[in-house]
Amino acid sequence: IDNIESKELEYTTRALERLSKHSKIKILGPIDPENRISIVSFMIKQGDKYLHPKFLVKTIS
């Protein structure tokens, strides 16, 4: 279990680092990977508004 937890923390940390580099991406919830679960929710800004989640799902599917 310790091995799974360490890998989960590693992947969450990597995802948060990469997503936080983009100025159009807003991460929801704590930025510190130690204080969150491994699900990373975020919003993407286009102009002065955020894109609708269903639009993003259709775009990347």
Q: Is the pLDDT of residue 21 over 90?
A: yes
Q: pLDDT value at position 23?
A: 96
Q: Is the pLDDT of residue 60 over 90?
A: no
Q: pLDDT value at position 1?
A: 86
Q: Is the pLDDT of residue 24 over 90?
A: yes
Domain that holds residue 31: 2-60
Percentage of the chain beyond pLDDT 90 is 90
Domain count, the chain: 1
- Identify any residues that bridge with 41 across adjacent strands, giving them in sequence order: 28
